[in-house]
Amino acid sequence: MSSKDWFLLGHYEFLTQLEKYREANREVKQKIGADSIHTKQAQRLKALTLAVWTKIPSNPSNSEFRLGNALGKEHTHWFRDKFLQQYRVFFRYSTKSEIIAYGWVNDEESLRDYGSKTDAYLVFRKMLESGRVPNDWDELIAESKRLS
């Protein structure tokens, strides 16, 4: 399957982060022009875009996306893709409804750092436990918007 075969949704928390990635890229592009494609902001946005619109939709059930108990046993239905070593994008999917819903992607303030209070997995787990990102599939879908 490809992104054309899936209905891609983004929760508010994911969309907020995506816009931060885009804005950081726009700012650096305005400052340095064509050379901006070599910046960390451009590389981050490119890697996230590739993950969200190509890599994950090509096979969201790929075993490389499985979390195990990283978010706790009550959240094993969540998946994640890794990019640029310390970045994670968290998602759920339904083959029945052909929907992929992105919950959140971390940033420079929540890099993957095992044991850290700002570790991406810990931050996302707290979001789920507080209800900031719904753990319930129907609520997640209801609170998400279509990606374009």
pTM for this model (two decimals): 0.89
How much is the pLDDT for 99?
98
DSSP of 18-29, one letter per residue? HHHHHHHHHHHH
Q: Which domains does the chain have, with CATH numbers?
A: 7-146 (3.30.2310.20)
Residues 78, 36: Cα–Cα separation, whole Å: 34
How much is the pLDDT for 43?
87
How much is the pLDDT for 34?
65
Report residue 96 as tokens: 């029945």
Residues 74, 136: Cα–Cα separation, whole Å: 11
Residues 15, 12: Cα–Cα separation, whole Å: 5
Summarize the confidence of residues 62-69 as an average pLDDT.
90
Q: Starting at the edge strand that comes first in sequence, how are the strands of the sheet with 7-11 ordered?
A: 79-83, 87-94, 99-105, 7-11, 144-146
DSSP class of residue 7 equals E
Summarize the confidence of residues 102-124 as an average pLDDT.
81
Which pLDDT band, with edges at 50, 70 and 90, does 123 fall under?
very high
Residues 25, 144: Cα–Cα separation, whole Å: 24
How much is the pLDDT for 111?
63
How much is the pLDDT for 113?
63
Going by their DSSP bridges, the two strands 144-146 and 99-105 should be labelled as unpaired
